[in-house]
Structures are given as structure tokens and as C-alpha cells.
Chains A and B, each alone.
Chain A
Amino acid sequence: MANGEMVMEPDSMPEALLAGIPVGGDRVRRHRLSTRLWHWLNAMTVTIMLMSGLMIFNAHPRLYWGQYGANPDTPWLEIGNAGGHGVLRIGSLALNTGMVLGLTRRPDGSLHATAFPGWMTIPTSYSLSDARMWHLAFALVLVAALLAYLVRSVINGHIRRDLAMRRGEWAPAHLWADIKQHALLRFPTGLAALKYNPLQKIAYGAVLFVMLPLVIATGTALSPGMDARLHWLVDVLGGRQSARSVHFLCAAGLVGFFAVHIAMVLLAGPINEVRSMITGWYVLPKERRAKAPAPGEEIAA
């Protein structure tokens, strides 16, 4: 197991089957109904929150630290345009964003000054009120779905059994082996593919226990009503405009997760993976055939 991979000799398979242990090629139950329902509801909700959120950002495309921040104050991030192209300003850094951020070309060829272009936003043309209509409605869905899912997953053992890191999985050597396997795009097969690997657990844990709760907390902190009740929340975040900045950074973090997540699903076998998240059933990837062992070399199984 030096390389952290399960290698099974073809000869040992019937034995494994007799023992009721699934092997590569077997159809296994992978995702509970609650996981599948939450996953797709959440994927839709996060998408709507993100796209309507970008439209809300368009109403004031500047971010600040502290309690206050408006046009006379200095933003740490700003999306605008200058010299006929878009500009993303972060601190003293100014990035030319061409016709993607800050400035876009309409189908009729005319230029349109907008932080995020219409194809990224809900709705596609400027409407702060419609964006808020979507954002505030689905914020409730996001919170309710996450709460229900976390409670359910504590009760049915999903968190303890599938998401919590096992003893030893935090060991740097183990993590490093897992990172190398990912980098080589050698995904687990057979029995080892039955469970989430440590990097998967870390990523899903980050989404379920850090990014989504933080995006909800920072969104709540933006509410002047909730600020009256939850001073401490806004204080912890360093003020309302800081909360808005962290809210935006959380959204960016979720986009980052999403990009890697989709890449991994595509690389690991999209049909089998997505089917498992829809039907619950997953076909364990077949074991890679082990190289013939050199004389005297032992094979770990």
C-alpha cells in the first residue's frame, strides 16, 4: 500500500465476492436520497445566488474594508473601465480585463459599461430589484436546505461515516500520496473507490462547514435589520463593508470549488459519477491491472 492504492489480484476476486466485498465493476449504493436531493437543490440554488449576486455587485462594483464605504472612500477592489477596455483594480494593481469585466460589447456592437456582463448575471440586463428578488428568495432556500441536510447527515451518520477524516488521513504522508494520485489523475478504483478520498473530504467539508455557512453569515451581516440583533456577527467580520467583501470572496471560493469539482467529475468518469448522484447507484471503477511483480517483490492487497 506504499502508493496508497488498492491493488487486487484477479485471482482474489471471487474470494472477495464470496465475502460480500464489492470489487471493480460491481454496482454499489453510493449516495443516500438526502444527499442526492440536497446536492441538486443546492447546486441550482448556489448557481442562482451567484448569478443574481453578480448583478447586485454591478449596482456598486467596489469593495471596502471596515464599517462604511461609498464612492468618496477608497475601495480595495473595483471593476470599471478606462481607455476603451475593462479594468479590474485590486489595491494598486490594475488588470486589463478586455471586454469581459467592466466593459462589454452588446450584440449590436455598442459598448456597455457593466462590472459583470449579462451572460453571467440574473437577470441579463441591469435590474437591482429583480436580482434582489431572486437573491433574497433563494437565500431562504439555501439556508433551509443546508440546515436540513446537516441535521439529517448527523442523524444518519453521513458526516461521521463519509465526510469525517479517518485517523491517519490527516497524516502528511497520506495526504501527499493522495495529492500525487490526483495530480497523475489516477483516481481510486475497486474497493478504494467506495469512499471519498481525503482530498474529496477536505473539499466537501470546506463547502459544507466553512464556505456555505460563511456565505450565509456574511449575507446576514449585510442586513441592517439583523445587524441590530447580531452586533457581534458584524463585529467579528470587521464591519458591514468587510462583511460584504468577505461575502464576495466566499462566492469566489465557491466558484473555485465548482471549477475543480466539475473537472474532477469529468476526469473521474462523468456518466458514472453524475448517475450516482442522481440514482444513488455507482459502478466501482475496475482495478487497474497490476504490473507483473518482479520476483521476490510482494504485493500488498
Chain B
Amino acid sequence: MSGFNNSAILSRRRLLGMGTVGVGGLLLAGCDKINANPALRSILQGADDLHYPLQRGMLGRDTLAREFSPAQMSPVFRTNGNVTADTDAYRAHVADNFARWTLTVDGLVKTPLALPLAALMAMPQRSQITRHDCVEGWSAIGKWQGPQLGGILAMAGLLPAARYAVFHCADNFGTTPYYESIDLIEAFHPQSILAWRMNDQPLSVGHGAPIRLRVERQLGYKQAKYVMRVELRDTLAGLYGGKGGFWEDSTGYQWYAGI
């Protein structure tokens, strides 16, 4: 008799437990269904896109990102993403110290350029100690030096239709090449440089040798490493996934990475 009661209680308890797990599971499945809903995703992404005009309105063209003193630098600046470009062509460049490497500047420009590393080093330089903020949440402070992107673009001369600067990189994720893009306000910002020096050393392979883009008012994934070519375009549509960057195409990070 009591045994019967016990098992009845137990099974009721177990049922309750299963019910809780079941309802919880349904809720979670519901959440994931909501998260996967295309209409809702496009509304949310539309709201995310508002951060771009909002920040453009508040920031002004040339507001500078914070710069630091040498004493404030991170003792160790970690690498992230690809730490080399896994191609024979890139390995050959590393082997001869980028002596035969050139940066291509083309697309909607008057004069396409092919600039050797020595030419970039000979241009007027800007150096800045800035904070690199990764989308994951960490920050590292380092010193960067290189010619201003604006100066290089001025050398090439933009055609009136140009709207975006696209950075084609030597590294791949699987078979997909890394690339990034910024608007022209960011491209002509005084702190936007093509850095070939970091922390007073030539840029290491891990950090993107021979040059890495620095766009100091945006997150880490915009700071394209292993830049081979700067292409000026009127639209990002038609290029790879069309969203203006490798992470933007592959996982949906926001194109404007000011937050």
C-alpha cells in the first residue's frame, strides 16, 4: 500500500521534473526558432544598421580615436584570426622579406598604383598608440606606424563614383579570401593608416605582414591583415557575399563596426 503510494508520488515527481524539462526545452526551442525567423532577423539587422548613421551623426569626420602613452601599452599584444596567409605566394614573399611585394591600388581611380613596400616606408608616416578592441570583448594597446591611407588614395586620385575602399588580403579562411571595406570618411580619416610597423618593429607575420589596415574607431575585424590590394568601388554588392567583409558575409557581423 505504502509502496504503491511512494511509487505514485515518485512518478508524479518524475512527471513534474520531466514536465519542467519539457517546457524548458520547448521554450528554448521556441527561442531558437524566433532567432532563426528571417523576417525578425531582418528587422533586428535593420535596427543594428541604425548605429552607423547614429554614430556618423555624433562622431564627425575627423574626431580622433584616443591615443595613449608608451607606458600604457599592453605588455603582450595577442594575435587573433589568421596568424599567417597559408599560400605559396605569401610564403615566397616572407622568404624574400617582401622585396618583390607590391600593394595594388585600383578600381575607381584615375591612376592605378603598384607600390613596393619601400615606397610605403618612404611616404610621410604617422605613428599612433591606440587601443585595439576585439568584437569578442578584449582590448590590447599597441603602437602602429605607416603612411596615411588618405595620402595613398590621393596619389591614385578617386573617380567621382568611388564610395568604398575594399581591402583584399592574402589570407584565407578555408578557401574564402579575407577582405574588408570601409566608407570614404573612414578611408580619409587621419588615423587610418597602412601600418608596416608595430611596437617599433617591422610588422610580424602573426599581426599581418607586410601591412595591416588600422581603422581606429572600429572593432578588430575591420583591421585587415596581409593587405595586398586596395580596390575603390561604388558598391559592395557583387563582391563575395556582398556584405563588405569576410565576417560580415560568413557570420553576419555588422559592416559598420563602431560598436
Contacts and interface: CB of A to CB of B under 8 A. Distances in A.
Interface string B105-141: 0000000000000000000000000010111111111
A228 B259 CA distance: 11
A140 B47 contact: yes
A247 to B, nearest CB: 10
B32 A229 contact: no
B47 A229 contact: no
A74 to B, nearest CB: 10
Contacts of B45: 133, 137
A146 interface: no
Nearest to A241: B139
Given A136-B259, A137-B44, A67 B55 contact: no
B65 A227 contact: yes
Interface stretch (A4-12, A54-62, A288-296): A54-62
A203 B76 CA distance: 43
Interface in A104-146: 118-119, 122-125, 127-130, 132-134, 136-137, 140-141
A123 B251 CA distance: 14
A64 to B, nearest CB: 8
A122 B41 CA distance: 13
A70 B140 contact: yes
Interface string A75-94: 00000000000000000000
Q: Tell which of A70, A123, A133, A234 has the most Cβ of chain B within 10 Å.
A: A70
Interface in B24-64: 24, 28, 31-32, 35, 41, 43-45, 47-48, 50-51, 55, 58-60, 63-64
Given A69-B139, A122-B35, A228-B65, 13 more contacts: A57-B137, A59-B135, A70-B139, A70-B140, A128-B135, A129-B247, A132-B48, A132-B254, A136-B254, A137-B48, A140-B51, A223-B55, A228-B63
Interface of B: 24, 28, 31-32, 35, 41, 43-45, 47-48, 50-51, 55, 58-60, 63-66, 68, 72, 74-78, 131, 133-141, 216-219, 247, 251-254, 257-259
